[in-house]
Structure 1
Amino acid sequence: MAEQKTDQKPSGTYEAGCHCGYIKFSVTLSPPLPEYKVLDCNCSMCRKAGYLLVYPTRQNVKWHGESRERCAVYRFNTKKKDQLFCPRCGTSLGIDFRDSTKPKFDGYGISARAFYGLDLDSLQYEKGHGLENVKPARDLSGIQFELDEEEAKASAAAAATNTTTAT
């Protein structure tokens, strides 16, 4: 972790990546950690993925080699944000906001848990209320199972109807 000073604001650059090392990148933040307020959101995705988010702009994230292309993605709810994770070890890395926010934020929500050698107890946290404030304002945990079950029942009912009308 190297501290850097610019003419305007102090910043820090941090190495990050997944657990197995298949994905690596560096993140520059201003202000630097631990002065940066890390978001601890209560939405279903942040809770399940263990995200503690910082928000660098796209130009302040440098993916090493083909690391960005190596990321697996998961999209839920609005299907507009890539939740990034390692396809080999499963480490949750963060969120790519590329096409999802208005006004446009051209950057990432990177999980501070992905930073190498970072003492999470030394950070300042800001509580996020995504569960109450992000549409749909409810817990989406496990909802795909229920959606798949409903779809299977509907398909079975349609097949039964088709069989009955065909005879």
Structure 2
Amino acid sequence: MADQILTKKYSGNCHCGLFRFTFEHAELQEASECNCSICTRNGYIFSAPLAPESVEVTRGEGQLKEYRFGKKEYGHSFCPHCGTSIWCQGEDKKLQLNLRTLQDFDMESLKINQDDWLSVKPPYEAPTSFPELPASTQTSNELVVYHGTCHCQRTRLSIRCKPLETLKLMSCNCSLCSRNGDLWIYPPKGDVAIAGEESLVGYAFLSDRCLHTFCGNCGNSLFGRVLDEDICPVNVRCFVDIESKLAGLERQFYNGKAKAPTYVLKD
């Protein structure tokens, strides 16, 4: 008798809970991470391709927004309310789930395989114009200017900070940052200039004094609006040409998951 393959039921959701799904699969042990322009921005940790009928949507059917670009071969679906990237669907209709969205799942246990699509696909062409920064109030002579953009380029940023190679990117495991794979730096507000703000969506998590912002067209996580402090947290994943540099930058872990209040998915 052939050995039976034991399966496990997994559940996932966007952060706000608008969209929820379940699927059964042999215990997940491996996943893939891609370095192309869209996957880097979304911080995807992908499952193997799954037949769409094997994934049951339990809430929010038809609520996701889809983003396509280039040859339109792949649809990248995200929650229009909180910005969580849920899955990518190819022309064969198979789904690659973003495993960051799974509930009570140990991401650290996965073997992550690296997919080098950056060298295969035509290069991503970043915009050529960015907002102008005002004069800096900082006295450091080590500051440099970086540019960032959401993938569809409706929102563009100019950021003045120390060279990324000298900084530690903040990697937080809270329920929101872990879903996006956000990697933060914290320049003063005066050192961040933003163009195309009309395309942004703000999502309040924990406090309405701090909004997580993402592009309402392509879903990319960009920066945080902090009302009570002179900082503008910026997600380095949106930086131009970051795809080839990200792996070599130092990260600092922050255990946001342990901070109150505990994330609870509301019915």
TM-score higher than 0.5: yes
The yes-or-no answer on 1:114 pairing with 2:101 is yes
Distance in structure 2 (CA, Å) of the matches to 1:9 and 1:88? 38
In the alignment, which residue of structure 2 is the partner of 1:32?
27
In the alignment, which residue of structure 1 is the partner of 2:65?
72
CA deviation map 1:29-81 (0-9, x unaligned): 2x322x2x20111111111011100022112110114x240001111121132
The yes-or-no answer on 1:130 pairing with 2:124 is no
Structure 1 residues 140 and 52 mapped into 2: Cα distance closer, same or farther (>3 Å)?
farther
Residue of structure 2 aligned with 1:89, choices 82, 87, 91:
82
Per the TM alignment, residue 7 of structure 1 is displaced from its structure 2 partner at its CA by 6.5
1:88 maps to a residue whose letter is: H
In the alignment, which residue of structure 1 is the partner of 2:35?
42
Per the TM alignment, residue 108 of structure 1 is displaced from its structure 2 partner at its CA by 0.3
CA deviation map 1:90-137 (0-9, x unaligned): 00111122xx2xxxx44101100011111211111111111112x32x
Per the TM alignment, residue 8 of structure 1 is displaced from its structure 2 partner at its CA by 4.4
Distance in structure 1 (CA, Å) of the matches to 2:125 and 2:66? 17
Structure 1 residues 41 and 85 mapped into 2: Cα distance closer, same or farther (>3 Å)?
same
Distance in structure 1 (CA, Å) of the matches to 2:88 and 2:54? 14
List alignment gaps of at least 5 residues for structure 1.
1-5, 147-167
Residue of structure 2 aligned with 1:12, choices 8, 11, 14:
8
Per the TM alignment, residue 12 of structure 1 is displaced from its structure 2 partner at its CA by 2.1
In the alignment, which residue of structure 2 is the partner of 1:61?
55
What SS does structure 1 have at the residue aligned with 2:21?
A: strand
2:27 maps to a residue whose letter is: P
Distance in structure 2 (CA, Å) of the matches to 1:23 and 1:12? 21
Higher strand share: 2
2:17 maps to a residue whose letter is: G
In the superposition, the TM-score normalised over structure 2's length comes to 0.44
Q: Is the 8 A contact 1:27 1:56 kept in 2?
A: no
What SS does structure 2 have at the residue aligned with 1:132?
A: coil
In the alignment, which residue of structure 1 is the partner of 2:243?
none
2:13 maps to a residue whose letter is: G
* Higher RCO (CA 8 Å, separation ≥ 6 residues): 1
Q: What's the % identity of the aligned pairs?
A: 27
What SS does structure 2 have at the residue aligned with 1:26?
A: strand
In the superposition, the TM-score normalised over structure 1's length comes to 0.69
1:58 maps to a residue whose letter is: P
Q: Is the 8 A contact 1:28 1:56 kept in 2?
A: no
